[in-house]
């Protein structure tokens, strides 16, 4: 059998890293993005630039890294989109943080056409995309996952198949809701410590050796907060979106989550003080939050 070909839709900081890893692992890799600058960067890494319709027609596995579920749906359902142009057996892998209901609907439409759709949001940020060390949370049919697996292995280090279509999105929203909450709770714990005369670095050394630790205390604070870098590559706007989607999911399924409701409100209210483009770790500086 010929080697699988990859099409990457969306060549932002995440998509470009995944496309570059596809090239590095020997896959014929196509890319598409509305920004000529991003396309040029991809071409410099060996990616073959194509328009969307041609990319879908040429790709066995499509990797999408797009901003919202609406954009994903448009790309899949457009007259020249994935459903219309992809060859039978092709699989669309949506690495965006999207909505479970949208993913389930698109998976059903793809199945009717003899195509696959997998929701596989990722954790690890731009650095993980560039290094090929992402963690993927996967929802989809086992057969479609098997078809795409050689490509997923090229762009990620861990792949966790959570369940059927939409399950990957649920897992990602749960994860990011926890990250959003942990940023708030760790920031309050640090403020308490410093108010009581113990420097943040010292108390975090204790927390990280004890049961209060989290990825925020172990990674975010030393890498992006304590040194004032705030350059994680993930923005306030993106985290606000993810927390909002998690809150919407809770309302949709009727889950009573009073702590999460407070977390969602704090993140939403922070928009008055922290612009969407700011690094998401800046929430720890928002001392005016309720």
Residue 172 falls in the annotated catalytic set: yes
Residue appearing with tokens 């996952």: 145
Options 45, 172, 241, 287, the catalytic residue:
172
Burial class of residue 37 in the structure, from the number of CB atoms within 10 Å of its CB (0-12 exposed, 13-18 middle, 19+ buried): exposed
Catalytically active residues, by annotation: 172
């Amino acid at each position: 059998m010929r080697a699988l070909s990859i099409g990457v839709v969306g060549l932002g900081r995440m998509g470009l890293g995944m496309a570059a890893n596809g090239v590095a692992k020997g896959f014929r890799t196509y890319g598409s993005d509305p920004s000529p600058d991003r396309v040029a960067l991809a071409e410099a890494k060996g990616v073959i630039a194509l328009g969307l319709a041609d990319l879908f027609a040429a790709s066995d596995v499509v990797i999408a890294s797009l901003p919202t579920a609406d954009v994903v749906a448009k790309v899949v359902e457009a007259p020249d989109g994935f459903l219309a142009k992809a060859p039978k057996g092709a699989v669309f892998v949506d690495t965006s943080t999207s909505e479970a209901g949208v993913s389930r609907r698109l998976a059903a439409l793809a199945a009717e056409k003899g195509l696959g759709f997998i929701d596989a949001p990722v954790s690890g940020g731009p650095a993980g995309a560039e290094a090929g060390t992402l963690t993927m949370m996967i929802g989809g049919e086992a057969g479609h996952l098997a078809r795409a697996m050689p490509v997923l292995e090229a762009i990620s280090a861990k792949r966790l198949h959570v369940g059927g279509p939409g399950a990957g999105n649920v897992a990602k929203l749960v994860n990011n809701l926890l990250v959003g909450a942990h940023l708030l709770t760790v920031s309050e714990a640090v403020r308490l410590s410093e108010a009581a005369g113990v420097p943040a670095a010292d108390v975090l050394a204790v927390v990280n050796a004890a049961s209060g630790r989290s990825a925020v205390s172990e990674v975010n604070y030393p890498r992006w907060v304590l040194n004032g870098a705030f350059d994680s590559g993930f923005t306030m706007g993106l985290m606000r979106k993810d927390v909002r989607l998690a809150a919407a999911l809770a309302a949709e399924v009727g889950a009573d989550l009073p702590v999460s409701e407070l977390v969602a409100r704090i993140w939403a209210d922070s928009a008055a003080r922290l612009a969407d483009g700011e690094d998401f770790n800046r929430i720890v500086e928002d001392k005016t939050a309720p």
